[in-house]
């Protein structure tokens, strides 16, 4: 009652729109992402659901983020409830969006570890909150250790990477949306 969006999210149209906006062919995206043209075609036509890793590769190839592609795939609602997922006994990392649709902020929950070698640099600000466990974050050449309840604020443009140091770590990341120009151009 009051909840909506029971259907699985279809990201294909958002991927296609972004690719076409950049005037790229599937072959170019395949080359940039390391994924095959047939698989990319299946994603665009919603015949395949990409893993988080594959979606990140596609997003990188399209010069955007997986969060932006997911947000573009999901129409925004002025009021939306995102229910907690039933915990499954799966050892692999999970990510779920806490804010659906194209809004001024994004929030995601990361459970477990992820590709610790992956470096992030977002145009706008973000806040990381450790809900459970512990993480190590490398930002601006320094390593920071955060435990349960700790937060880290990162100004837009700061390169960073992070990794879970305790099993079943949960990190909440809240960021100003990439489509919102929250910071002034620093070159001026």
pLDDT higher than threshold 60 for residue 141 = yes
How far apart are the C-alpha atoms of 64 and 9, rounded to whole Å?
18
Average of per-residue pLDDT across 107-129 = 82
pLDDT higher than threshold 60 for residue 5 = no
The pTM of this model reads: 0.63
Beta bridge partners, 175, equal 106, 126
117 or 137, higher pLDDT: 137
Contact by Cβ (8 Å): 134, 146:
yes
SS3 (DSSP) at 116: coil
Q: What DSSP state is assigned to residue 186?
A: T
């Amino acid at each position: 009652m009051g909840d909506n969006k029971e259907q699985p999210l279809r990201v294909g149209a958002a991927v296609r729109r972004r690719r076409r906006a950049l005037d790229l062919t599937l072959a170019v995206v395949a080359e940039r992402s390391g994924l095959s043209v047939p698989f990319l075609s299946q994603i665009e036509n919603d015949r395949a659901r990409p893993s988080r890793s594959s979606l990140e590769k596609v997003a990188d190839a399209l010069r955007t983020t997986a969060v932006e592609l997911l947000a573009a795939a999901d129409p925004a609602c002025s009021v939306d409830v995102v229910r907690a997922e039933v915990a499954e006994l799966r050892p692999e990392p999970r990510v779920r969006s806490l804010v659906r649709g194209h809004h001024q902020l994004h929030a995601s929950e990361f459970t477990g570890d992820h590709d610790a070698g992956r470096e992030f640099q977002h145009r706008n600000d973000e806040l990381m909150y450790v809900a459970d466990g512990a993480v190590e974050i490398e930002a601006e050449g320094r390593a920071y250790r955060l435990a349960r309840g700790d937060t880290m604020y990162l100004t837009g443009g700061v390169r960073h990477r992070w990794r879970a140091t305790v099993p079943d770590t949960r990190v909440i990341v809240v960021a100003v949306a990439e489509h919102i120009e929250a910071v002034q151009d620093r070159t001026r």
